[in-house]
Amino acid sequence: MVDDDDDIVWMLTAVLRKHFDVVNASSGLLALKELERSDFAAVITDHMMPGMTGVELLDRSLALRPAAARVLLTASDRVQVFREAVNQARVHRFLTKPLPLKELPKIVGEAIREAELEHENSLLVAELEAKNAELNRANERLEEDVRQRTRELQEAVDKLEELALKDGLTGLFNHRYLQEALEAEIARAGRHGHPVGLLFLDVDNFKLYNDANGHPAGDRVLREIGWLLTGGGDSGIPLQARRSDIAARYGGEEFVMILPETSLEGVLTKAERIRRAIAEHPFEHREKQPLGCVSVSIGAAVFPEHGDNKQSLIDVADRELYRAKHGGRNRVCAPEGTG
């Protein structure tokens, strides 16, 4: 109870002490010291006091003891006082002088209960906000987990798709992909009037190599040929593999290359470059081979010059490969009269 008028303090204290424990202060500064030391259920103050008004006191008590009820006593009827009390001090009750002494305990009790409810509500709101914040964080973590899992699943799907299209030994495209890619390239070339080159390669005397050196050594040869076909090698004869060229393992020791938008002259140049690069590559145990090196025979064909569809082009390239084999191996063959 804060008032600079001793008579009012004595009168109000006598009424309130029947229901509450009351601490008196004669100024706002003394009241603030009491509020700093102890908790209170309510702060009842006169408005017009020297040094600090009741509104100013209640405003500062709001920061110190937010759960305490705030009751303002005033003899003023100025609207500005009420506006400041509401907007600044957020008072729970106004009491105008002369004061309703009989009803004062009930009014103060109601103000205390209202303040308690406000405080409980603020605690609930704070708890709810904290739970919502934690829920939001949990949702963010879950969303990130879902995103990460989705990325991992997509990477796994991409890997599976790649494995479905790639040869496990050499890393080149497999027979299935070759068939689809060749058909697509021929269709595209047919629409735009471009040639498509096709090379069939077969490792010469590969069975002899496997029998003499073992299948692991033979697998290494196949892997290194796959590496050479995709632009590797240090033989001094670069393959100049283009991004559009497609190298595939046809099966066993047979390989195929699709050369989009490549004329017969370009196809034969590329084939000869490949043949020389493989023959000059320092494969392990190459000196044991009949030709003194690991070599390939190559059959070449070009769409639409040698075949107007996928199967006819494959048949021509395969036939030319057979001719290269029977012509002494380690050579390139194309249909007679074309190069």
Torsional sign, CA 314, 241, 167, 283? positive
- Structure-block tokens of residue 303: 């769409």
Element containing residue 73 per DSSP (H, E): strand 69-74
Closest C-alpha to 91, from 134, 61, 58: 58
Cβ atoms 245, 274 nearer than 8 A: no
* Residues contacting residue 84 through CB under 8 Å, at least 6 positions apart: 55
Closest C-alpha to 205, from 267, 281, 314, 285: 285
* Residues contacting residue 182 through CB under 8 Å, at least 6 positions apart: 196, 198, 258, 310, 313, 314
* Cα separation, 320 vs 324, whole angstroms: 6
Cβ atoms 92, 71 nearer than 8 A: yes
Cβ atoms 235, 273 nearer than 8 A: no
253 is catalytic: yes
Distances (CA, A) of 226 to 172, 192, 212, 231, 337: 6, 30, 22, 9, 30
- Structure-block tokens of residue 314: 């494959």
Report strand pairing: 254-260 vs 246-251: antiparallel
Cβ atoms 280, 293 nearer than 8 A: yes
Q: Which of 185, 224, 253, 320 is catalytic?
A: 253
Report strand pairing: 93-96 vs 69-74: parallel
Residues forming the active site: 253
